[in-house]
Amino acid sequence: MWAQIINIVLGIWLMASPAILGYNGVAADIDHILGPVVASFAIIALSGCTRSVSKCNIPLGFWLVIAPWILQYENGNAIANDIFAGLLITGFSFVKRKTTEQYGGGWSMVWPFRTEKHI
């Protein structure tokens, strides 16, 4: 739960950081796009039944780490910010929310290609 709350804060931080740290262009666009998406996935992952949605933030965090090289960021603040935020987001995405609730086997029960196993 706390890990997802941190990722929500990091997503909001990404939305605000181009204005706060003073950069624009492609780096600002990346942060403006990924910030709301990261925060949204983290909000959805707050619910016990959809907690696995936090995994969607793993590739997004990873992309933030490598984007400064791939997209040739020029602003030092933007480079440091995206690498740092990306590492944190990726790390916290792996923290699975504990729950005492039971969901009838969860989403894997309705996944059409699931292998039959009895848990």
Partner 1 sequence: MKMEGKNVPPGWSYNPADWSQRIPLIVLAFFGFAIATYLSLYQLEIISTVWEPFFGDGSVKILNSFVSKILPVPDAALGAFSYVLDAVGGVVGSTRRWRSMPWIVIFFGFAVGPLGFVSVLLVVLQPVLFDAWCTLCLASAVVSVVMIGPAMDEVLASLQYLKRVKASNVSMWKAFWGYKDVNEIVK
Shortest distance, CB of residue 31 to partner 1, whole angstroms? 9
Shortest distance, CB of residue 101 to partner 1, whole angstroms? 5
Give the interface segment with partner 1, choosing from 42-50, 62-70, 71-79, 82-90 (CB under 8 A): 42-50
10 Å Cβ neighbour count for 95?
Answer: 16
CA distance 16 to 39: 12
Q: Cβ(5)–Cβ(93) under 8 Å?
A: no
For residue 27, how far is the Cα from the chain centroid? Answer: 17
Give the interface segment with partner 1, choosing from 40-48, 58-66, 68-76, 80-88 (CB under 8 A): 40-48
Q: Is 36 in the site for partner 1 (CB under 8 A)?
A: yes
Q: Is 50 in the site for partner 1 (CB under 8 A)?
A: yes
DSSP code for 25: T
- Sites of contact with partner 1 (CB under 8 A): 15, 18, 28-29, 32-33, 36-37, 39-40, 43-50, 53, 100-107, 109-110
